Amino acid sequence: MMTFIPPRLRKPAIYALAGVLFAAAWLVRGGPLWWVSIMAVLGTAVGAVRLFLVGGTDTDEGARAGSRADERQQLISLRSRALACNLAAVTSFIGLTAAIAVKATWGWPFLVTFLITGYGYLLGLGNYGIAEEGTPDDADTGHQTRHPVSS
Amino acid sequence: MAPNEGRGRLRASDADREQAVEVLKAAFVHDRLAKTEFEAHVGRALASRTYAELAAVTAGIPAPPSTVQPPGTSSPMAEQRTRRKISQAELAQAVGVSRQTVILIENGRYLPSLPLAFTIARFFGQTADDMFRSSSRPASRVARWWSA
C-alpha cells in the first residue's frame, strides 16, 4: 500500500493516521474529556505538516522524514530502533520484577511488553537467517573445518 | 617541585606502556621512524618503569594522526571528484546516496558498504582498492613488519 503514496508523504501519512486513531479513541470513550480528541487532531496536523516540510530539507533528518534515506541513514535509523527496543525490554523486565516483588496486579503490561520484545527478537533471528548455518563444504571429506589464520 | 616531575616518578602501568607502543607503531607506519629505531624504541618502552622513562621514549614523536581527514588534504575519492569537476551533490545523486554521506566518506568518517564502494569505484573508473586505499595502506605495512 505504501508504494502508492509518494515517499515524501509516507511518514506524514503514518503520523496523521496514528493521530486520527488516537483522537478517535478519545471520541469513542466519550465523557467530559472529548475535547482531547480535537487537540489530538490539531497537534497531529501540525506535526504531519512539520514532518512534510522537514522531509524536503537536505539533511539526514530530512532524508529519513522524506523516506529517501541512503544506507548510512538507514543504519542510523536501525540502530536507533534497536536501542529503543533494548530499552523497552530492559524497562519492561524491571517493571515486571518490581510488580512481582510487591505482589502488584499491574505487572501484566510489563509481561506483555517483555514477551513481545523477546518474541520479536527471536522472530528477527529466524527471519534474517541465523538458523541457516548450512553444511561445511568439507563435511563429506571428513576434514575438520579450521579457521584460516590458525596454525 | 613541578607537578610533571612528581608524575614522572610514578610507576607506569602495562596500559601506559601499550599506549606508548601504539604511538611508536603509528610513527613507524607514517615513516617517522625507521625499522631499527622503531624496534629499539619499542624495547625501551616495554622496559620502562616510570612515566618519565616512557616520556623519554616517545619524546619528539607526534601523537598519532586522527582517522578524520585533516582539512586541506583530500581522500582519493575527493581527488577524483575534484579532478572531474563534479560537485558532492552531483556525485551523491549519481551513486544514489545523500550529499552528507559523500562528505562523510570523503572525510574518512564513514566506511561505505561493499556495494556502495564498488558503485563509487565504477563511477570513477577505478578499483575499490584504489578509491579507499588510505584506510588499508597503514595496516598492511604493520602486518608486513609483524610477519617479517
Q: Which residues of B touch A71 (CB under 8 A)?
A: 97, 101, 112-113, 116
Cell triple for residue B61? 614523536
pLDDT: which is higher, B130 or A119: A119
Using CA coordinates, name the residue in chain B closest to A59.
B100
Are A70 and B101 inside 8 Å of each other by CB?
Answer: yes
Using CA coordinates, name the residue in chain A closest to B115.
A71
- Domain residue ranges in chain A: 1-69, 71-129
Q: Please give the distance of CA A67 from its chain centroid, rounded to a whole number.
A: 15
Single out the residue of A46, A38, A41 nearest to residue A17, CA to CA: A41
Residue B2, sorted as left (phi over 0), alpha (psi -120 to 50) or beta, turns out to be beta
Q: What does the pLDDT look like over B57-108, one tens digit per residue?
A: 877 776 555 444 555 557 889 999 999 999 999 999 999 999 999 999 998 8
Give the residue from B101, B105, B106, B109 with the most A CB atoms within 10 Å of its CB, the best one to mutate.
B101
Residue ranges of domains in chain B, CATH in brackets: 3-58 (no CATH), 76-138 (1.10.260.40)
User: What pLDDT, on the 0 to 100 scale, is given for residue A23?
Assistant: 95
Are A58 and B99 inside 8 Å of each other by CB?
Answer: yes
Are A63 and B116 inside 8 Å of each other by CB?
Answer: no
Q: What value does the mean pLDDT take over residues A139-143?
A: 55
pLDDT: which is higher, B111 or B64: B111
Q: Which ranges constitute the DSSP H helices of A30-131?
A: 35-54, 60-65, 71-101, 108-127
Q: What does the pLDDT look like over B18-46, one tens digit per residue?
A: 777 777 877 776 677 788 888 888 888 88
Give the residue from A72, A73, A149 with the most B CB atoms within 10 Å of its CB, the best one to mutate.
A72
Are A70 and B110 inside 8 Å of each other by CB?
Answer: no
The interface predicted TM-score (ipTM) is: 0.73
Separation CA A88–CA A10 (nearest Å): 25
Single out the residue of B59, B88, B58 nearest to residue B75, CA to CA: B88
Angstroms from B36 CA to nearest CA on chain A: 28
Are A60 and B100 inside 8 Å of each other by CB?
Answer: yes
